[in-house]
């Protein structure tokens, strides 16, 4: 990494870490305003940054990437197999994530967080996913969904209470999906009834990640059913609130160390001061949050694919058949090169979406592309890696089969591939309208 | 205690990388090869930071002699808890010829300039496995061939860190961010009045010879016969 690239990358960091732009909320309208004019005004801006390759990191981003890699290799890797088998995340891993500052990456220093950029979280998630995608998703949800919601929508009081805890020892869960509403999220049925200065929440949620360990739950409930989705409000519910029960953990195909449980709300009483943001704006926050969360999942799938690939290639270089390494057969070389290209493409989509988001520029279509593509690439990569490893790839003694099982959820959660494609099509439609 | 500690940190080829000798035999391949802080230097930094956390010393200064990239190593030391860094800028031909004598002269000059009471370095010195800080002396326990030896030394002193001295901490993300704000001063060897000319010249660098396979023998008679055959006895 030549000094000049590092310098231009650093300039990029200092100038383009902008606060959340209001434009992004109005995601749909912004999509139409893209064009040549915007790009050319920016070309006149900071010299050097537009010419840097996407894999240019500023010094602290590089240092953090190395720090995560080291930690993941030494402290998480030895426990991965056990955590997968027992479907349980080891406490030492959870403590380690908090101790190292991975759980409060974008939280401001004065709340006890790391105070780093969104791109840093993407790098952290990617490095963690190379070792264990379950750990990566826990870190992703905390940083891109929970912390971001508090940071953007919280009152000073809510921020001062929750952000320091989220950075040091409290895990959060995002509760949107229900048994009857997945992709059709806004048809959620959980209700919040207003009484004086508090609300009573009744309903249930399903597929809630991190719920076994979470100390706080961000619950999307409808406070005004007659207004349809415009009644959806985000409530902060602490774990020990009466009436909230956490159901039995799902027995999943993959991401087994990540706890996924159903939740029931039985007359859960929540004070009005626990509304995050404004009444009836929950749907907007959810979409906004998931736009960024999408890039996090893309990073997770990217790391998964890369980790799987990194484990499989050395085998192909060592295994000898018919007198030569299996890597040396042209059929293998072509497959390997093809997969490597797909991973690189997914990486560039993900990094670009992250940089766009940091720069306060429209990024929703790119985020959808990144998530959709990375999850497809992860599926392709893991499937091929098992084939390259032959019989041993099929056994639990090697980490490959775990990556194969873990990748499937990528094209399903935080917006199925079909939803991503439909969203992209909406943007394309608008771009081409006269 | 108002003592200052100087810790030397060296940027070396990462310990996990396979080292290869350059085709012209003048040295090892360093271009494009991953470099990181010498693991023993990490142990040295860890010891210094622990002393500071116990409030036994006031300031930890990390020093590295080398080209521009040595600053990355100093940054890592800062992220682990050192207070400030000094980069002694030595590049090109000077760097290739930089030997232990020159580095010692540099460190000695810096120690005088910064009024340092203790210098901690990675291995190849007194091999300390435990350090106890006392008023104006140090009690050092070190591993020797016969076992353990405890010695008392007066300060200013130089101590080197052995593997078992401590377990270095990870640089946490918040500390990496804080390290950004810490100062790194750059000095030239000539500023310190040190002459870099070397008395040594590298003639050639070669890989160690490949280990030959051993031979198993069935009986003692066979062994004696083999030893006689190869002229050993």
ipTM: 0.73
What does the pLDDT average to over A191-204? 95
Poorest-pLDDT segment among A39-48, A213-222, B143-152 = A39-48
Residue B123 vs residues A94, A369, B157: alpha-carbon distances, Å: 34, 51, 15
Chain A hits for B74, Cβ within 8 Å: none
Q: What is the pTM of this model?
A: 0.82
What does the pLDDT average to over B94-119? 82
User: If pLDDT is split at 50, 70 and 90, which confidence band does A9 have?
Assistant: very low
Cβ contact A116–B177 (<8 Å): yes
SS3 at position A308 = helix
Q: Cα–Cα distance between A415 and A413 in angstroms, integer?
A: 5
Q: Is the dihedral of CA A48, A49, A54, A56 positive or negative?
A: positive
pLDDT of residue A343: 97
- Which of the following is catalytic: A180, A366, A414, A431? A414
Query: Touching check for B176 and chain A: CB below 8 Å?
Result: yes
Chain A hits for B171, Cβ within 8 Å: 63, 67
Report the candidate in A175, A148, A143 with the shortest Cα–Cα distance to residue A159.
Answer: A148
Both tokens assigned to A216: 């706080």
Of B36, B76, B170, the CB nearest to A71: B170
CA gyration radius, chain A? 22
SS3 at position A240 = coil
Of B36, B72, B173, the CB nearest to A64: B173
Residue A414: active-site member: yes
User: If pLDDT is split at 50, 70 and 90, which confidence band does B27 have?
Assistant: confident
Poorest-pLDDT segment among A145-159, A309-323, B142-156 = B142-156
B74 contacts B36 by C-beta, under 8 angstroms: no
Tell me how close the Cα of A197 comes to any Cα of chain B, in angstroms: 39
Query: Touching check for B171 and chain A: CB below 8 Å?
Result: yes
Bridging pattern class, strands A198-209 and A191-195: antiparallel
Q: Cα–Cα distance between B9 and B120 in angstroms, integer?
A: 10
Better-predicted residue by pLDDT, A295 or B96: A295
Chain A hits for B186, Cβ within 8 Å: none
SS3 at position A53 = coil
Cβ contact A116–B76 (<8 Å): no
Longest dimension (CA), chain A: 81
B27 contacts B205 by C-beta, under 8 angstroms: yes
A237 contacts A268 by C-beta, under 8 angstroms: yes
Residue linked to tokens 């280990």? B211
What's the whole-number average pLDDT of chain A? 88
Tell me how close the Cα of A105 comes to any Cα of chain B, in angstroms: 8
Cβ contact A100–B173 (<8 Å): yes
A63 → chain B, closest CA residue: B176
Start-end of H helices in A254-281: none
Query: Touching check for B70 and chain A: CB below 8 Å?
Result: no
What does the pLDDT average to over A176-188? 94
Cβ contact B172–A120 (<8 Å): no
Both tokens assigned to B159: 């101590």
For the cut 70, the answer to whether the pLDDT of residue A160 exceeds it is yes
- SS3 track for chain B: CCCEEEEECCEEECCCCCCCECCCCCCECCCCCCEEECHHHHHHHHHHHHHHHCCCCCEEEEEEEECCCHHHHHHHHHHHCCCEEEEEECCCHHHHCCCHHHHHHHHHHHHHHHCCCEEEEECCCCCEEEEEECCCEEEEEEEECCEEEEEEEECCEEEEECHHHCCCCCCCHHHHHHHCCCCEEEECHHHHCCCCCCCCCCCCCCCCCCCCCCCCCCCHHHHHHHHHHCCCC
- SS3 track for A141-172: HHHHHHHHHHHHHCCHHHHHHHHHHHHHCCCE
User: If pLDDT is split at 50, 70 and 90, which confidence band does A5 have?
Assistant: very low
Cβ contact B177–A109 (<8 Å): yes
| A329 backbone dihedrals φ, ψ, rounded to 5° | -80, 135
Both tokens assigned to A337: 């090169």
Of B76, B170, B177, the CB nearest to A114: B177
Cβ contact A115–B72 (<8 Å): no
Contacts of B20 (CB under 8 A, 6+ apart): B28, B29
Q: Cα–Cα distance between B9 and B114 in angstroms, integer?
A: 17
pLDDT digits (tens, 9 = 90+) for A383-432: 999 999 999 999 999 999 999 999 999 999 999 999 999 999 999 999 99
Tell me how close the Cα of B177 comes to any Cα of chain A, in angstroms: 7
What's the whole-number average pLDDT of chain B? 82
SS3 at position A313 = helix
């Amino acid at each position: 990494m030549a000094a000049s690239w590092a310098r231009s990358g650093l300039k990029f960091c200092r100038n383009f870490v902008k606060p959340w732009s209001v434009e992004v909320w109005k995601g749909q309208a912004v999509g139409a305003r893209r064009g040549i004019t915007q790009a050319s005004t920016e070309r006149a801006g900071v010299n050097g940054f537009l010419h840097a390759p996407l894999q240019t990191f500023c010094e602290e981003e590089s240092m953090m990437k190395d720090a995560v890699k080291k930690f993941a290799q030494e402290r998480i890797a030895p426990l991965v197999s056990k955590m997968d088998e027992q479907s349980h995340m080891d406490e030492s891993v959870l403590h380690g994530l908090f101790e190292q500052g991975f759980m409060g990456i974008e939280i401001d220093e004065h709340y006890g967080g790391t105070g780093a950029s969104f791109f840093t979280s993407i790098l952290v998630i990617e490095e963690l996913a190379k070792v264990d995608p379950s750990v990566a998703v826990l870190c992703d949800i905390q940083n891109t969904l929970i912390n971001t919601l508090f940071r953007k929508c919280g009152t000073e009081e809510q921020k001062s209470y929750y952000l320091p805890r989220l950075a040091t020892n409290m895990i959060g869960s995002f509760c949107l999906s229900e048994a009857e509403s997945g992709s059709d999220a806004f048809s959620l049925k959980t209700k919040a009834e207003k009484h004086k200065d508090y609300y009573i929440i009744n309903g249930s949620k399903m597929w809630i990640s991190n719920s076994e360990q979470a100390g706080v739950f961000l619950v999307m409930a409808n406070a005004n059913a007659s207004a349809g989705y415009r009644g959806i409000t985000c409530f902060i519910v602490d774990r020990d609130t009466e009436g909230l029960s956490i159901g039995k953990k799902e027995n999943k195909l993959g991401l087994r160390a990540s706890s996924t449980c159903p939740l029931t709300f039985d007359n859960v009483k929540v004070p009005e001061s626990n509304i995050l943001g404004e009444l009836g704006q929950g749907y907007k926050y959810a979409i906004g949050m998931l736009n960024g969360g999408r890039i996090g999942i893309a990073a997770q799938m990217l790391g998964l694919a890369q980790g799987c690939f990194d484990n499989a290639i050395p085998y192909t270089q060592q295994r000898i058949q018919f007198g030569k390494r299996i890597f040396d057969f042209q059929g293998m070389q072509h497959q390997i090169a093809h997969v490597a290209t797909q991973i690189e493409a997914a990486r560039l989509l993900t990094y670009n979406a992250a940089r766009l988001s940091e720069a306060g520029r429209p990024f929703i279509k790119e985020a959808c592309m990144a998530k959709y593509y990375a999850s497809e690439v992860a599926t392709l990569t893991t499937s091929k890696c098992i084939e390259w490893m032959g019989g041993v790839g099929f056994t639990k003694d090697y980490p490959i089969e775990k990556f194969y099982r873990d990748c499937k959820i990528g094209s399903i959660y935080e917006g199925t591939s079909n939803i991503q494609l439909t969203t992209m099509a909406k943007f394309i439609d608008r771009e081409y309208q006269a | 205690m108002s003592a200052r500690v100087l810790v030397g940190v060296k940027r070396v080829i990462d310990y996990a990388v396979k080292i290869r000798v350059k085709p012209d035999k003048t040295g090892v391949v360093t271009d494009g090869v991953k470099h990181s802080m010498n693991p023993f230097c990490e142990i040295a930094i860890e010891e210094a930071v622990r002393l500071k956390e116990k409030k036994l010393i006031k300031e930890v200064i990390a020093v590295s002699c080398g080209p521009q990239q040595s600053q990355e190593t100093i940054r890592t030391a800062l992220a682990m808890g050192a207070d400030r860094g000094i980069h002694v800028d030595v590049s090109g031909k000077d760097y290739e010829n930089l030997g232990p004598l020159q580095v010692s002269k540099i460190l000695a000059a810096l120690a005088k300039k910064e009024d340092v009471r203790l210098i901690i370095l990675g291995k190849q010195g007194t091999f300390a496995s435990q350090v106890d800080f006392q008023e104006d002396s140090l009690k050092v326990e070190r591993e020797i061939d016969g076992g353990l030896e405890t010695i008392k030394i007066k300060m200013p002193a130089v101590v080197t860190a052995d593997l078992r001295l401590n377990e270095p901490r990870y640089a946490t993300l918040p500390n990496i961010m804080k390290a950004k704000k810490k100062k790194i001063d750059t000095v030239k060897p000539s500023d310190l009045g040190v002459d870099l000319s070397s008395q040594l010249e590298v003639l050639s660098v070669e890989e160690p010879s490949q280990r030959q396979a051993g031979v198993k023998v069935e009986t003692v008679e066979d062994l004696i016969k083999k030893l006689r055959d190869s002229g050993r006895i």
